Amino acid sequence: MLLFTVTMKNTYFQLFVIISLSVICSVLLACTNQSESKDPALVKIALREAGNQLLLQQNDSTSIIFPIVATEEYKYQLSFEKELSFEPNELVQVIDSSFALAGIDANYRVEVLQCTDLEVAYSYEMQKTQEQTIIPCGGRYLPQSCYQIEVQFLNPQTRSLNPFILLGCLTTVVLLIFYYSKNKSTMSTSTDASSNYAEIGSYHFYPEQNKLVKQAQEISLSRKECELLELFIAQPNQVIKRDELTKRVWEDNGVIVGRSLDTYISKLRKKLKDDPSIKLTNVHGVGYKLELI
């Protein structure tokens, strides 16, 4: 017999939806945040290019740029062989363009340290939102001196989320809540973990509870009606002989009334009449069959 545990079906469906939603959002988030990746090797390449551009602006194409050092996680140091002088806007432009060329899109802070005492000679902060970007003292050249340039990436664990992706995920959750709220009355009939049901058209048949459920409507069945319906469900669209039906349902009762079968079939027809795809057909002289259209 095709019986299913309704609570298991609901659980599997919910689990499927949750896993699917999680996978979709995870993939979308991963794609959205690819630009957040700050590969140390790529950062060092970008900073070396920024140092090269600074020197070229001073017509220096021969002096050495020392190896880029990661002084701590998400913090890098750029230093030079010779002293140099530059205007702050030049530094902002070359670092920003080098990062853009390398595909590095992140919030970061830049500090220019004096080699002699490591005091901060100049600093600025670059944020993705223009309102939070701080670039002071543009136009004032730093005097010729030995400098170390340190770049620290900010909020390395913070990931930006595309608002359209967030809206899509929230919409899906809202639709699921709406779906379960709308069907709560039907689902509430299946809270018993031991309750099995069979689907007959638009009906759910609960043989252990002697009832049919159609949407929020419950229809009570007698024990004999349940036993007959179980036999029909086990052999849909097949003729079951009168003798077999009578024997299977009434054999333990001792007394069989000739018209009992026809009476119960008539009762079942009335209780299934709201679904035109279900028919209990009399095959004259042979028996009955449950037709599912």
Phi, psi of 97, rounded to the nearest 5 degrees: -70, -35
Q: How many domains does the chain have?
A: 2
Strand partners, 145: 84
Residue 148 is predicted with a pLDDT of 95
Residue 34 is predicted with a pLDDT of 44
Of the pLDDT bands very low, low, confident and very high (cuts 50, 70, 90), residue 20 is low
Do 201 and 147 have their domain in common? Answer: no
- Please identify, among 153, 187, 216, the residue that sits at the C-terminal boundary of a domain: 153
Residue 127 Cα distances to 93, 99, 130, angstroms:
14, 13, 6
Do 108 and 201 have their domain in common? Answer: no
Start-to-end CA span in the chain (Å): 19
Residue 116: which domain range? 35-153
Evaluate whether residue 20 is within a structural domain. Answer: no
Residue 253 is predicted with a pLDDT of 59
Evaluate whether residue 11 is within a structural domain. Answer: no
Q: In a 10 Å sphere around its CB, with 0-12 CB exposed, 13-18 middle and 19+ buried, how is residue 153 labelled? A: middle
The tens digit of pLDDT for each residue in 230-275 reads: 999 999 999 999 989 888 887 765 555 557 888 999 999 999 999 9
Evaluate whether residue 24 is within a structural domain. Answer: no
Do 149 and 201 have their domain in common? Answer: no
Do 118 and 204 have their domain in common? Answer: no
Do 60 and 138 have their domain in common? Answer: yes
Do 148 and 209 have their domain in common? Answer: no
Evaluate whether residue 162 is within a structural domain. Answer: no
Tell me which range, 27-41, 130-144, 212-226, is most confidently predicted by mean pLDDT: 212-226
Do 55 and 133 have their domain in common? Answer: yes
Report DSSP letters for 163-221, one per residue: HHHHHHHHHHHHHHHHHHHHTHHHHGGG--TT-EEEEETTEEEEGGGTEEEETTEEEE-
Do 206 and 147 have their domain in common? Answer: no
Q: Residue 217: give its domain's CATH number.
A: 1.10.10.10
- Please identify, among 93, 127, 153, the residue that sits at the C-terminal boundary of a domain: 153
Do 131 and 209 have their domain in common? Answer: no
Do 50 and 144 have their domain in common? Answer: yes
Checking DSSP bridges between strand 147-153 and strand 240-241, what pairing results, if any?
Answer: unpaired
Q: Are 191 and 283 in contact (CB under 8 A)?
A: no
Does 80 score more than 70 pLDDT?
A: yes
The secondary structure of the chain in percent helix, strand, coil, rounded to multiples of 5, reads: 45, 25, 30
Evaluate whether residue 16 is within a structural domain. Answer: no
Strand partners, 143: none
Do 39 and 149 have their domain in common? Answer: yes
- Please identify, among 153, 179, 213, the residue that sits at the C-terminal boundary of a domain: 153
Evaluate whether residue 25 is within a structural domain. Answer: no
Residue 7 is predicted with a pLDDT of 44
Do 199 and 261 have their domain in common? Answer: yes
The tens digit of pLDDT for each residue in 152-166 reads: 998 754 445 566 666
The tens digit of pLDDT for each residue in 94-129 reads: 999 999 898 888 899 999 999 999 999 999 998 887
Evaluate whether residue 75 is within a structural domain. Answer: yes
Evaluate whether residue 21 is within a structural domain. Answer: no
Residue scoring higher pLDDT (285 or 79): 79
Task: Report how far residue 8's alpha carbon sits from residue 98's, in angstroms, rounded to the nearest whole number.
Answer: 56
Does 4 score more than 60 pLDDT?
A: no
Question: What are 248's two structure tokens?
Answer: 């299977």
Does 24 score more than 60 pLDDT?
A: yes
